[in-house]
Amino acid sequence: MDILKGNLLYGQSGGPTSVINSSAYGVIKEAFLNKDYIEEVYCMKHGIQGALHEDFYVMSEQDEAQIELLRHTPGSAFGSVRYKIADANDDETDYIRLLYIFKKYNIRYFLYNGGNDSMDTCYKIAEYMREVDYDIRVVGVPKTIDNDLPFTDHTPGYGSAARFIANTMMEVSYDMYAYPKGKVTIVEIMGRHAGWLTAASHLASLSGWGPDLVYLPEVPFSIEKFKADIKKVYDEKSQCLIAVSEGIMNEEGIFFSSASAIKDAFGHFQLGGVSSKLAQIVNNEMRIGSRSIALGSTQRSAAHIQSLTDVNEAEQAGRKAVQFALAGDTEVMVTFERVSESPYTIEFKKHPLNMIANQEKKMPRSMINESGNGITEEFIEYALPLIAGINEPKFINGVQSFSKFK
């Protein structure tokens, strides 16, 4: 297949991570290395909405120093979005607009950086452009702290979030044991249907300061068992530290959290309040002092503790996406294949978008202990390489310096 000549359009979508901008860095720098085929790089402001509104950052006009800072910048430097485009068979409006924009700016490479829902957007666009015979290469760049994309060993963003969670749990644990008799402390961690993030709390145990109990969406949650587990730990230690996924649910698959009736554009309920609800139960029914902590968006935005492995792999995912597109690949997402544990080594592969869009990868049951309230050695061996190394932050006057584009 011949290499196309034209421009590249890149966008970020869904929940930010502390390393999504490292993928952007990889895309931009790799594209700049191939100016014979990629004449300009446009970055959408707020994902696909930026394309629809013809609102871009022109990267050749940006300060090089700001581009270099992308590897140290959390959030979405170009703006993210949760926008669901309709199926083309139901409503072609967005697709007709995108086709117009693609032709106007000679966009021949479309790279979209996101998770499950973003890959759905990516696939729909690729499918429509193929049907109208517009020659364009569409490649998905993986991103999600949830680590729930299928057909890849892990996802960029997870390693840094896991590192933050493990260290935060260690600090909370160390603080809790400052007193001879304390409380039941319940820490709420992101994770709607998959417990990868909450499981990372257990990595703190390697230093002796991890959670006593861990509850994940993969195991049906029982209040009676929860109270029995706490009593056993508290009777022994006079303290109890618990990590719980926001997405725990009962045998019927009903979320335990005080989920609001609000859904996002992709139909996902907005979860929250698990830790406070559980703390009330411990206080009122068990008569034990309890407090709740919700890590919230800090889990995905902690650039000061980025995993160097995560940053480097995120950048390489962006570079590989450009390389795959130039080689003629389209309607694929970059994936990671772990080929060695010692030394830890991955290879970059690709997988069809239609097999990834809207799919989720849950934690294997073998990574969860038999009682369903803890984590096994298998998970530790899986996760440890992903949190390795530190990407030294860029500080000015004691605070971090982040990218800013115009």
DSSP for 298-353, please give it: HHHH-GGG-BHHHHHHHHHHHHHHHHHHHTT--SEEEEEEEEEETTEEEEEEEEEG
pLDDT value for 262: 54
Residue positions annotated with a catalytic role: 146
Judge if 20 and 143 occupy the same domain.
yes
pLDDT value for 258: 55
Residue 174 φ/ψ, nearest 5 degrees: -65, -40
Judge if 210 and 71 occupy the same domain.
no
363: amino acid identity, one letter: M
pLDDT value for 264: 54
CA–CA dist 322, 111 (Å, integer): 8
Judge if 271 and 194 occupy the same domain.
yes
Q: Cβ–Cβ contacts within 10 Å for residue 267, how many?
A: 8
pTM of this structure = 0.94
Find the CATH number of the domain harbouring 197: 3.40.50.460
> Does 191 fall in a domain?
yes
> Does 381 fall in a domain?
no
Judge if 295 and 316 occupy the same domain.
no
End-to-end, the C-alpha distance of the chain in Å comes to 36
Judge if 180 and 264 occupy the same domain.
yes
Confirm if 353 and 26 have CB atoms less than 8 A apart.
no
Judge if 137 and 14 occupy the same domain.
yes
Find the domain containing 16 and state its range: 6-155+303-359
Burial 155-172 (b: 16+ CB within 10 A, else e): bbbbbbbbbbbbbbbbeb
Judge if 142 and 252 occupy the same domain.
no
pLDDT value for 266: 52
One-character DSSP codes across 282-298 = HHHHH---EEEEE-TTH
Judge if 151 and 11 occupy the same domain.
yes
Judge if 172 and 286 occupy the same domain.
yes
pLDDT value for 261: 45
Find the CATH number of the domain harbouring 28: 3.40.50.450
Judge if 149 and 243 occupy the same domain.
no
Judge if 233 and 248 occupy the same domain.
yes
Judge if 230 and 122 occupy the same domain.
no
Q: Is the Cα torsion angle 177, 183, 189, 191 positive or negative in sign?
A: positive
Give the β-pairing of 38-44 and 213-215: unpaired
> Does 401 fall in a domain?
no
User: How many domains does the structure of the chain reveal?
Assistant: 2
Q: What residue ranges of the chain have pLDDT lower than 50?
A: 259-261
> Does 380 fall in a domain?
no
